[in-house]
Amino acid sequence: MLLSALAVENTKPRSKPYLLRDGNGLHLLVTKTGTKLWRLRYRFGGKQNMLGLGAYPDVSLAMARGKRDEARKLLASGIDPSRQRKLDKIAAVDASNNTFRLIAEEHLANLQQSGTAPSTMAKNRWMLLDLARPLATIPITEITPAEILALLKKIEKSGRRETARKLRGEIGSVFRLAIVTLRAANDPTYPLRRALLKPIVTPRPAIIDERELGALMVAIDDYDGWPTLKAALQFLALTMVRPGEVRYMRRSEVIWPKDMWRIPAERMKMRRPHDVPLSRQALAALREVWDLGEGDGLVFPSIRSAIRPLSENAFNAALRRMGYSKQEVCAHGFRASASTILNERGYNSDVIETALAHQDENQTRRAYNRARYWPERTKLLQDWADLLDQFRGLSASRTAA
């Protein structure tokens, strides 16, 4: 006879434990203290087995029957319910240990070992350990696309659209590591590829008028601040490189006999070494500060410490002190100035792109261009340095007039 919910509730303890059977192996064990335990008897592999299903009233009669039916489905599939429970517990422990933060830290360690630039490492740590903090303690297998989307949309609504898109990519990298190490089966960021708004692209401000650029160069020449910063700004304008590449430049990277600067791959955005031919003017800017350093130290150290580079904001702060607003020019804008003016003057665009260290999608052509264009790049950068001198003259003639 099947049990009823009322009968289970009204069952009282006796002097000895006893059983109330419900059918298909399910029964209720009532102990001498009055504890009521659901258990399931079953046979597997020719042996009698017992599986605990929980205690009443935490597990009701209906819930116990449901657990019994699930166990019987496993038996029908040739699976021992007791062994499956042990495996499920192991999986639950593994899942609790394989949290998003744990795998994110593994991903960051891999990036560190592969030589990722310090600035990139700092950004990735900020995104994965700070911005993605709401996901930190969740097992990697339990994170849903909806949870990630809610996190990204919150960032997007604050106006940081590009940050939201980059964070989605970084979270995806963590999931791909989990997949290849057999700790996750899918990447929940994949369905979110078109779920975010496109960033509002704001071009970096740059001066492309030749006279105005000449006036800026005169202002840099007349700058009476820290001499290393003045030389670094001149060198930045002359070499068409990124500000970070100048800030971290080391003395051992300058090959004086070849008038060349070799930037190592770990400091380049595209993660490949980049050789920069140095014009007469660029070499002169280096000589202005060369005796201030020694050994393999920084060429353009901070005012506060010889072992620390100029700060990220040092260039722009100097430009502001010269009277240029952030809407007029920024340190990164020197590259745009050079690219625009040189293209307008008819220089080979492939040579310009190679000088800017922009990535060529074609690997064979990329390797070819790097070797093929060295003489052209040498001439280009010397011409650019000479043009900047001409622009200084144009600015001076306007001032005199």
* Element containing residue 123 per DSSP (H, E): helix 118-125
Active-site annotation holder among 332, 366, 372, 379: 332
Active site residue 335: yes
Compute CA 97 distance to the chain's CA centroid, rounded to the nearest angstrom.
23
CB within 8 Å of 256: residues ≥ 6 apart:
none
Active site residue 368: yes
Active-site annotation holder among 83, 157, 193, 358: 358
Residue with structure tokens 């935490």? 58
Active-site annotation holder among 269, 271, 272, 366: 269
Please, what's the b/e burial string for 30-39 (b: 16 or more CB within 10 A of its CB; e: otherwise)? beeeeebbbb
CB within 8 Å of 387: residues ≥ 6 apart:
210, 341, 345
Q: Residue 168: name the closest of 193, 150, 143, 186 by CA.
A: 193
CA-to-CA separations, 141 to 17, 99, 104, 106, 345, in angstroms, rounded: 42, 8, 14, 16, 57
Q: Residue 235: name the closest of 284, 197, 178, 302 by CA.
A: 284
Active site residue 21: no
Active site residue 332: yes
Active-site annotation holder among 335, 373, 377, 392: 335
Q: Which residues are catalytic?
A: 242, 269, 332, 335, 358, 368
